[in-house]
Structure 1
């Protein structure tokens, strides 16, 4: 029994207990790429959001009208059909004058005039088709401008601050809310220099929450700094903890045994 206790004590002493902090994978400050009055604000502080969720929507009345106008213009082929009809008439007129010219009934100038009118009508049809293509592009532009009125979450995570209200005016410089990405959670450690070379990317360690919190969970090393802090003689290590359910609290202090 004494031998077993001695062995366990030696193993415990061989481990270095190092303080650590749990940090979110990222902090995102939400701004708007457009300006306007906030119409909808469906999220609140403390809400969990998924990537792509609607965070807020600005007033869209003008943009919706512009999109409707662009779609109406793009959906009309009246000008194209009109130019096609004119072209058909000009082609028949040109063939008629050409037959007369071949029989020396029509003057050469009449044939030249008919040929010019035919060429101009062909160009007018090409312009009408080009204008319709532009109308299609204007629809996509209007759709993009309307989409800019909605702010979507760039990450999945926790809303930790909301600094806007429905009815307020939002500018492109306004910081509207903050979201922290909670899966994975980063474990930030400053390890003593004597452990340099013993810790490698891919290693797994157990992380334990410090009181008053309780619990432990595995973490994997993802970054080992290759430089030291001269004042403390430590080097940085980052581990990651999978946190799909959000149970691991960010901002909490912890300990890790190397």
Structure 2
């Protein structure tokens, strides 16, 4: 009996090995940057391997027509010639109406002349309102032209690493064509499939040490952000995701790692 007990103990995996789980370091997101409009690529200021910040220019399409349209719209919006002309006409019509009204009160001018002067005054007031309205429309056209021009320049939606550039300057970019690929490196996600024995012992917010597999070396603290509430029937495992802060991009994505989910002191 003692021999069988000893063999059983030797055959059982150590508690440390049971709790040591393999994992993979993955980027927080992987983005394929596409062209939202057609056009010839004028500029690509980034290359594969470059780090980019959110808002950095990734590429710019030819935009000569959009730039001219914006210049035209701004010229229209900034001009107040028509408004000032209508204001001058209104002042003139107002004086004419007052003069005809005075003559009509003295029975010197016919009532028809007063009616005509009143109509001219009203029409001039409407013309001034139309000029002011047209200027407001011109201001809206400026914003529209700015938006169309901005669409010719694509900026990074995230901070991360450029892992592929699929286009070159001078190439025609069709709508929805892939231009480049970017991975978000801060934070880094740690994907784990833990054995069912650990189910219920790991919770969101728990902190664990993540160790890189050889030949890489490094240790990082990860916070549990997702714990699947179901087990995979085939493998008897459940999914866990941890988040590792990586502001200086020192944590390598794509690397394999290990996590000890054993009891913590």
TM-score grouping bracket, smaller chain normalisation: over 0.9
Deviation at 1:155, TM superposition (A): 0.4
Task: Tell me which of 130, 141, 145 is aligned to 1:142.
Answer: 145
TM-score normalised according to structure 2 size = 0.91
1:101 counterpart residue number: 104
Contact 2:16–2:260 at 8 Å: present in 1 too? no
Secondary structure (helix, strand or coil) at the match of 2:178 reads coil
CA–CA separation in structure 2 for the residues paired with 1:187 and 1:170? 35
CA–CA separation in structure 2 for the residues paired with 1:209 and 1:82? 76
1:133 equivalenced with 2:171 (yes/no): no
TM-score normalised according to structure 1 size = 0.94
Task: Tell me which of 36, 57, 60 is aligned to 1:57.
Answer: 60
Task: Note closer, same or farther for the CA distance 1:14–1:254 as it changes in structure 2 (3 Å cut).
Answer: closer
1:238 equivalenced with 2:241 (yes/no): yes
1:173 counterpart residue number: 176
Contact 2:191–2:242 at 8 Å: present in 1 too? yes
The worse-fitting range, judged by mean Cα deviation, of 239-248 and 210-219 is 210-219
Query: How many residue pairs are counted as aligned between the two chains?
Result: 249
1:188 counterpart residue number: 191
1:41 counterpart residue number: 44
Secondary structure (helix, strand or coil) at the match of 1:176 reads strand
Q: List gaps (5 residues or longer) in structure 1.
A: 1-9
Secondary structure (helix, strand or coil) at the match of 2:208 reads strand
Deviation at 1:14, TM superposition (A): 7.6
Task: Tell me which of 238, 241, 249 is aligned to 2:252.
Answer: 249
Deviation at 1:15, TM superposition (A): 5.5
CA RMSD of aligned residues (A): 1.3
**Per-residue displacement from partner, 1:217-237 (whole Å, max 9, x unpaired)?**
111101101111111111100
Q: List gaps (5 residues or longer) in structure 2.
A: 1-12
Deviation at 1:257, TM superposition (A): 0.6
Contact 2:55–2:158 at 8 Å: present in 1 too? yes
CA–CA separation in structure 1 for the residues paired with 2:118 and 2:183? 70
CA–CA separation in structure 2 for the residues paired with 1:83 and 1:170? 47
Contact 2:57–2:155 at 8 Å: present in 1 too? yes
1:211 equivalenced with 2:232 (yes/no): no
Deviation at 1:91, TM superposition (A): 0.3
1:6 counterpart residue number: none
**Per-residue displacement from partner, 1:76-115 (whole Å, max 9, x unpaired)?**
1110010001000100000011111111111111111110
Stretches of 4+ moved more than 2 A in 1?
A: 10-15
